[in-house]
């Protein structure tokens, strides 16, 4: 009796275990690396947060922050008229900045869809915009040779079945208040809606390279993988778009195949993020100025040097930068965004070799202070980014005998090098170091880069 019970239990565990494993496609580490190769090499992408919140122009969370009802928010829907929307121009601007892919909010937390979903009326086609804005985005960015990504908000503050929770504009104070508010709301219905919309996005726009789900907050008055039915959702995505790369916000951290890369938001990581002791692919998403949606009165804009440092530092730790633009309600990029994209583009035009296809430098190369190293493992070139321009020379530890040639990257001009001993520099340097001579005049680039051809 006891024996057959154990057998039954075992059978049950194996069958349920198998079921959940079979949910998501299996792949080897090499296959995953191959699938993610374009993204890994790209290193720099554009995030685009665009929706009805571009009209109030005071944060994409304005509906929550000001506890607006659907009725109060309706005026933005009625007036949404991006008459200057020209995604071809956006794509050109992204490309000129050196970005290789772009990720657009097809729906943000407010629930408004920029695409022509058959499952709702709350979409761009029913506003004065009168058209599928996602379709135009996809076509324009593809035409510029950029990879195309979708952001999709799991959260929905407009859908009548989405249960009100702590993040919702109508959030409550007590459990009984929540009970009353949610008595007619049915998460199962919302789940179906969410599944259906993601299916539309994955089916109707050709090949989609990238998907950013946003976001899970499991716990009381929150939502996580069971609410979204994350595994089945992702399984469908992978079936429809087998090559797609997907972020980590479905609350499937511990599920095999549940995410492709992690997404540190609005902060600099101190080192390459790890999962169970292994380095993992990562991409930091960052804003120019704080808010993701267009925020007219925000003045906390990062300057060009800070933005370039964000990019270089990400690559120096093996990661990507997804830098956000929040277009206006007319459909244009803010003049400050354009200025900064131009600034980055100017630098990238002559220095992108230290970004694309690059990653962390091998441990043996220790970057001196005020520098960041990136490394291209295919060409075996090491890039030294001079964040603060040194006077006349710089000592690079551990490189003596390992370098064939040194030059400035921006103009390909030779930089002379010598073992530090020979140059009489003492005492902080050793025989394993090299000394690179630099002109006193800082080159006319925001952050000069030394390119070392390693032996």
Binding site for ligand GLC (CB under 6 A): 49, 60-61, 214-215, 265, 285, 292
Q: How far is the CB of 213 from ligand GLC (least distance, A)?
A: 10
Q: How far is the CB of 60 from ligand GLC (least distance, A)?
A: 5
Strands 44-48 and 101-107: parallel
Nearer to ligand GLC, 65 or 370 (CB): 65
Q: Phi, psi (5° rounding) for residue 123?
A: -150, 160
How far, in whole angstroms, is CA 11 from its chain's centroid? 42
Nearer to ligand GLC, 210 or 375 (CB): 210
Q: How far is the CB of 216 from ligand GLC (least distance, A)?
A: 10
Q: How far is the CB of 392 from ligand GLC (least distance, A)?
A: 43
Q: How far is the CB of 427 from ligand GLC (least distance, A)?
A: 48
Nearer to ligand GLC, 262 or 372 (CB): 262
Determine the Cα–Cα distance for residues 24 and 21; give it in Å rounded to an integer.
6
Nearer to ligand GLC, 34 or 296 (CB): 296
| The two three-digit tokens of residue 399, written as one number | 């490189």
Q: How far is the CB of 395 from ligand GLC (least distance, A)?
A: 40
Distances from the Cα of 453 to the Cα of 329, 381, 389, 419, angstroms? 48, 5, 21, 16
Determine the Cα–Cα distance for residues 145 and 95; give it in Å rounded to an integer.
9
Q: What DSSP line would sit under 175-225, residue for residue?
A: HHHHHHHTTT--HHHHHHHHHHHHHHHHHSSS---EEEEE--B-STT-B-H
Q: Which residues pair with 385 in a beta bridge?
A: 372, 449
Determine the Cα–Cα distance for residues 240 and 263; give it in Å rounded to an integer.
23
Nearer to ligand GLC, 73 or 365 (CB): 73
Nearer to ligand GLC, 81 or 265 (CB): 265
């Amino acid at each position: 009796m006891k024996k057959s019970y154990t057998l039954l239990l075992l059978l049950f565990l194996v069958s349920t275990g198998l079921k959940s494993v079979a949910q998501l496609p299996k792949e080897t580490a090499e296959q995953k690396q191959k699938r993610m190769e374009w993204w890994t090499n790209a290193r720099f992408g554009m995030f685009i947060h665009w929706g009805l919140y571009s009209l109030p122009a005071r944060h994409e969370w304005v509906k929550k922050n000001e506890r607006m009802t659907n009725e109060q928010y309706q005026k933005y829907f009625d007036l949404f008229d991006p008459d200057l929307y020209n995604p071809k121009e956006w794509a050109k601007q992204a490309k000129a900045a050196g970005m290789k892919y772009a990720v657009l909010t097809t729906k943000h937390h407010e629930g408004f869809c920029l695409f022509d979903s058959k499952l709702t009326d709350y979409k761009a086609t029913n506003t004065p915009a009168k058209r599928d804005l996602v379709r135009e985005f996809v076509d324009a960015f593809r035409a510029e040779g950029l990879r195309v990504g979708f952001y999709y908000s799991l959260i929905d503050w407009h859908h009548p079945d989405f249960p009100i929770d702590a993040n919702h504009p109508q959030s409550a104070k007590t459990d009984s208040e929540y009970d009353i508010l949610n008595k007619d709301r049915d998460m199962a219905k919302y789940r179906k809606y969410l599944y259906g919309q993601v299916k539309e996005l994955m089916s109707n726009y050709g090949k989609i390279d990238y998907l950013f789900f946003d976001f899970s907050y499991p716990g009381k008055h929150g939502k996580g993988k069971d609410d979204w039915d994350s595994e089945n959702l992702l399984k469908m995505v992978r079936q429809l778009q087998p090559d797609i790369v997907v972020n980590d916000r479905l609350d499937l951290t511990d599920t095999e195949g549940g995410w492709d890369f992690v997404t540190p938001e609005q902060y600099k990581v101190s080192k390459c993020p790890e999962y169970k002791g292994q380095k993992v692919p990562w991409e930091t998403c960052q804003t120019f100025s704080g808010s993701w949606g267009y925020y007219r009165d925000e003045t906390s804009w990062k300057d060009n040097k800070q933005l370039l440092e964000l990019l270089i530092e990400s690559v120096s730790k093996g990661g990507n930068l997804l830098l956000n633009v929040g277009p206006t309600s007319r459909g244009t990029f803010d003049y400050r965004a354009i200025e900064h994209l131009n600034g980055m583009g100017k630098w990238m035009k002559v220095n992108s070799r230290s970004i694309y296809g690059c990653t962390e430098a091998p441990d043996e190369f220790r970057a001196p202070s005020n520098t960041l190293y990136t490394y291209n493992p295919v060409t075996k070139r090491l890039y030294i980014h001079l964040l603060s321009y040194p006077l006349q020379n710089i000592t690079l530890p551990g490189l003596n005998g390992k370098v064939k040639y040194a030059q400035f990257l921006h103009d390909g001009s030779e930089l002379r090098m010598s073992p530090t001993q020979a140059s009489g520099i003492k005492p902080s340097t050793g025989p394993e170091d090299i000394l690179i001579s630099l002109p006193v005049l800082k080159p006319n680039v925001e952050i000069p880069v030394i390119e070392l051809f390693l032996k």
